[in-house]
Amino acid sequence: MLASLGLRCEVASNGLEAVQAVEKVLAAGSAASAASAASPAAAPMFDMVLMDMAMPVMGGVDATRAIRRLGCAVPILAMTANASDRDRDACFEAGMDGFLTKPILRAALAEALVNVLEGAAATAAATAAAAAGGAVDSGAAKR
């Protein structure tokens, strides 16, 4: 389904593999930055992580917490059959940025991807402005 939306993906079989994939990209970026302060990191971060709540080895909520503990702000979209408010709250409390219930429909997935990416862009702009000592009108950052 992601390919039909023109997207490329890397698959992790469980939450631990997802955390390790993010760690690998972060380490590659750090190594590239250390090797040459003049050039940007050679290994780009993932644009987004699609995270199932119920995976073997490490569930999605725990994997998200682990990714956030790494200091990684990559947008994370929960994709789950668990549709209760409690499950939704657990995802957001862990640091996920969006929530989509199964079965996944192509149009709903596309909309969720856009919403999460737009939210991440607005957050990044606000963070950059705050770091620069400026202010961002949160209403202007929303679409």
pLDDT for the residue 31: 67
Q: Where are the beta strands (DSSP E) in the chain?
A: 49-52, 76-80, 98-101
CB atoms within 10 A of CB 79: 19
pLDDT for the residue 35: 56
pTM beyond 0.75, yes or no: yes
| 93 pLDDT more than 60 | yes
CB atoms within 10 A of CB 50: 24
b/e code 9-45 from CB counts within 10 Å (16+ = b): eeebebbbbbbebbeebbeebeeeeeeeeeeebeeee
> Which comes out higher in pLDDT, residue 133 or 119?
119
pLDDT for the residue 120: 83
> Which comes out higher in pLDDT, residue 91 or 139?
91
| 142 pLDDT more than 60 | no
pLDDT for the residue 5: 77
| 122 pLDDT more than 90 | no
pLDDT in tens, 41-62: 445 678 899 999 999 999 999 9
